[in-house]
Amino acid sequence: MAGYEEIFRSSVEDREGFWLRAASVLDWDVAPTTALDESDPPFYRWFPDGELNVCHNALDRHVEAGNGDRTALVHDSPVTGTKRSYTYSDLRDEVATFAGVLRDQGVGRGDRVVIYMPMVPEAAVAMLACARLGAIHSVVFGGFAAKELAVRIDDAGPKVVVSASCGIEGSRVIEYKPLLDKAIELAERKPDATVILQREQAVAAMGPIDVDWAAAAATATPADPVPVRSTDPLYVLYTSGTTGKPKGVVRDSGGYATALAWSMPNIYDVGAGETIFTASDVGWVVGHSYIVYAPLLAGATTVLYEGKPVGTPDAGQFWRVVQENKVKSVFTAPTAFRAIKKEDPEGAFVAQYDVSSLQYLFLAGERLDPETYRWAADLLGIPVIDHWWQTETGWPIAANPAGIELLDIKPGSPTRPMPGWDVQVLDETGKPAEPGVDGAIVAKLPLPPGAFPTLWNDDERYVNSYMAAFEGYYLTGDGGHLDSDGYVFVMGRTDDVINVAGHRLSTGGMEEVLASHPDVAECAVIGVADTMKGQIPRGFVVLKSGVDSTAEGYDEKLRAELVQMVRDQIGAVASLKDVAVVPALPKTRSGKILRKTMRGIADGADEPVPSTIDDASVLDTLRPVLRTE
């Protein structure tokens, strides 16, 4: 069997042959004869003459091959004390029926459907039902506030919104319907209908455009898969932009299905009949790729978990899930393992379960610090694999390909680039940096299948945000270096998007909220290193002159108001709990706030005073506030 070097070289030297072979594992209604259309760079298109249906490939294909009785999806919900299991036949039937529900609401090929759901099987059913009809889904994380949901509804212009009466966060029931109603009220582009899944923990009051999921499904006629062009969008997934306006990452159908089908056996070493437990959320790219689409394309079993790594009820839940489902690979964020380590530092819970089926632990979502890597590796005695990718890329840029060969692990590195990813590090002039020297991490165009072909209705922003900095390269927005062995080391973001527990959030969006307070003149939000969450936001506000801040309890009251405003407008996921009132913010002479310098000081670095600073004394005053634990 070919090793990593040979496979990677083939993907670069024989791009057409490599990816057409990878695509051949799928069922195509019209088989592609060309892998890549490069006639309009940087808008590359994969398998341009091919047609397929992704839902058929994820479900019907396996049923038709005689594997309908194999387990497709297991829903494990410690927060409700329930478990449900679906065979491939069961899931295909549920999806076909719900596709009929959506079709009855006027949804067809190319229409958009926004999905605002908790971690229930119906979230995956709704996604696959859209794919079945050739419609485009846009999943919004259930923790987002009404304003954020409204922005996404306006941008996507959905015909229908699919939601649930509530979600459950730990022990708290969060009613979704009032948030959804408020979002639709705020949105300029109103959906024709909403389909609501009623959950017993909180039953929603229904309005004129609301359709009850169960009642509609009881009378719907199942829908057959609709073939679409490989280049047609499968979904739009919004990621924070530095301007505060979210970017709608477009995912194509054929390229994405091909990349995911390749990645399951080769990166995660999970094949048909084997089980992967991806502890993420369907609202994030990891949930799209490795809870829903990739495992089902591979004919594997996927575990959809509604709970936390700790507290629902304890730090042993991941091990329980592994034991009960004979999980081969676990994929989650380093944050989850930092939480488990904090609650169970000796790893006592592992001994209570049979985790002998577990062969790999994959971690991604933020930088895996060497200490957490070592703790997990010592505890489990299996390969702990850091890997690196982004919403934009859809699947790993760099990883350790467990299904091909396990390369040497270097703590702090997500290992080597995967097929089609020509990863380089460039200095400010656009020249390749020497090994070990940090610079901008880029990928040479064209990007491989699965990566985003553009942004939703915004080709110009796609070019300006990602393709314009270095001609012929995709700017990842991450900084770091390559070592002499070609290992990638990702050191952090180069922009002002921060990474809180694997969730990318815009500091600009949080600043916008803080600045709207009547007492605030200006503000800055920075992401500071946090042992649990990777980064947490810290806010700094300067009060308007004339504001009487000497009143008893004023600072505390202001902080509470600001934290609540961010929670209401961005969502609890933002985790902004620390806001300091300061006399001034450090700026350059041109007026730019020195966020990078502030971040460095807050993280304990001996940060030099930039030559462009307007008033160095401002930084001196701020230093003790930034350094406060």
pLDDT value for 506: 64
Does 394 or 619 have the greater pLDDT score?
Answer: 394
The answer, yes or no, to whether residue 504 has pLDDT greater than 80, is: no
Q: Residue 1: its pLDDT value, please?
A: 60
Q: Is 39 exposed, middle or buried (0-12, 13-18, 19+ CB in 10 A)?
A: exposed
Helix (H, G, I), strand (E, B) or coil at 577: coil
Minimum mean pLDDT among 99-113, 198-212, 580-594: which range? 580-594
For residue 572, the model assigns a pLDDT of 75
With b for 16 or more beta-carbon neighbours within 10 A and e for fewer, the 417-435 pattern comes to bbbbbbbbbbeeeeeebee
Cα separation, 570 vs 506, in Å, equals 10
Residue 244 has pLDDT above 80, yes or no: no
Q: Give the type of residue at 115.
A: I
For the cut 80, the answer to whether the pLDDT of residue 494 exceeds it is no
423 vs 185: CA distance, rounded Å: 45
103-117, 357-371, 561-575 — which one is most confidently predicted on average?
Answer: 103-117
pLDDT average, residue stretch 558-562: 93
Question: What are 131-164's pLDDT values in tens digits?
Answer: 999 999 999 988 678 988 999 999 999 999 999 9
Task: Tell me what pLDDT residue 588 has.
Answer: 64
Residue 388 is given by DSSP the state: B
Which pLDDT score, from 0 to 100, does residue 629 have? 53
Structure token digits, residue 63: 């049923």
Residue 610: exposure state from Cβ atoms within 10 A (0-12, 13-18, ≥19): middle
In the structure encoding, which two tokens stand for residue 333, read together? 């964020």
Encoded tokens for 624: 């003790």
Give DSSP secondary structure letters for 481-493: EE-TT--EEEEEE
Whether the predicted pLDDT of 589 surpasses 70: no
DSSP tag of 382 = S
Using CA atoms, how far residue 302 sits from 214, 235, 327, in Å, is 24, 20, 9
Q: What is the C-alpha separation between 39 and 576, in angstroms, rounded? A: 45
Per-residue confidence (pLDDT) for residue 612, from 0 to 100 = 60
What is the tens place of the pLDDT at every residue in 2-13? 899 999 999 999
Longest dimension (CA), the chain: 75
Structure tokens at 515: 């600045």
**pLDDT tens per residue across span 34-87:** 999 999 999 999 999 999 999 999 999 999 999 999 999 999 999 999 999 999
**Which residue is listed with tokens 């936001």?**
537
Q: What DSSP line would sit under 451-470, residue for residue?
A: S-S-BTT-HHHHIIIIISSS
Q: Does 362 score more than 80 pLDDT? A: yes
Three-state secondary structure string covering 76-116: EECCCCEEEEEEHHHHHHHHHHHHHHHHHCCCCCCCEEEEE
pLDDT of residue 165: 97
Residue 242 has pLDDT above 90, yes or no: no
Instruction: Determine contact, residues 57/26, Cβ cutoff 8 Å.
Output: yes
Place 341 in a pLDDT band, splitting at 50, 70 and 90: confident
- pLDDT bin (cut points 50, 70, 90) of residue 552 is confident
How far the first Cα of the chain sits from its last, in Å, is: 52
What would the two tokens of residue 181 be?
């109603």
Alpha-carbon distance of 268 to 403, in angstroms, equals 6
Query: Which tokens in the block code for residue 67?
Result: 């594997």
Q: In which order are the strands placed within the sheet that holds 384-386?
A: 82-87, 71-77, 301-305, 275-278, 329-332, 360-363, 384-386
pLDDT surpassing 90 at residue 327: yes
Give the three-class secondary structure for 395: coil
pLDDT score, position 297: 98
Q: Which structure tokens are listed for 305? A: 């978990």
pLDDT digits (tens, 9 = 90+) for 174-204: 999 999 999 999 999 999 999 999 999 999 9
pLDDT in tens, 565-587: 988 888 877 778 889 999 988 88
DSSP string for residues in 112-166: EEEEE--SSHHHHHHHHHHHHHT-EEEE--TTB-HHHHHHHHHHH--SEEEEESE
Region class of 570: left (phi > 0), else alpha (psi between -120 and 50), else beta: alpha
What value does the mean pLDDT of the chain take? 92
Angle among Cα 87, 90, 94 to the nearest 5 degrees reads 140
Q: Note the pLDDT of residue 529.
A: 82
Task: Dump pLDDT digits (tens) for 456-488.
Answer: 999 999 999 999 999 999 999 988 899 999 999
- Which of 63-72, 88-97, 417-426, 569-578 shows the lowest per-residue confidence on average (mean pLDDT)? 569-578
Task: Report whether 476 contacts 406 (CB < 8 A).
Answer: no
Amino acid identity of residue 200, one-letter, is: E
pLDDT at 233 over 80: yes
Which residues, listed in sequence order, are joined to residue 275 by a DSSP beta bridge?
301
Confidence tier at 254 by pLDDT (50, 70, 90): very high
Handedness of CA 375, 378, 379, 382 (dihedral sign): positive
Determine the pLDDT at residue 388.
96
Which of the 8 DSSP states describes residue 429?
T
- Other residues' Cβ atoms within 10 Å of the Cβ of residue 202: 16
Instruction: Give per-residue pLDDT as tens, 265-308.
Output: 999 999 999 999 999 999 999 999 999 999 999 999 999 999 99
Segment 95-119 mean pLDDT: 98
Q: Name the burial class of residue 128, with classes exposed (0-12), middle (13-18) and buried (19+) by CB atoms within 10 angstroms of its CB.
A: buried
Question: Judging by beta carbons within 10 Å of its beta carbon (0-12, 13-18, 19+), is residue 535 exposed, middle or buried?
Answer: buried
Task: Report residue 231 CA to chain centroid gap.
Answer: 22
Q: For residue 547, what are the contacts with CB-CB under 8 A and spacing of at least 6?
A: 519
- Give me 274's structure tokens: 């084997």
Percent of the chain with pLDDT over 70: 96
- Decide: helix, strand or coil at residue 380: helix
Per DSSP, helices labelled H in 157-283 are 177-186, 213-219, 254-266
The number of residues in the chain equals: 629
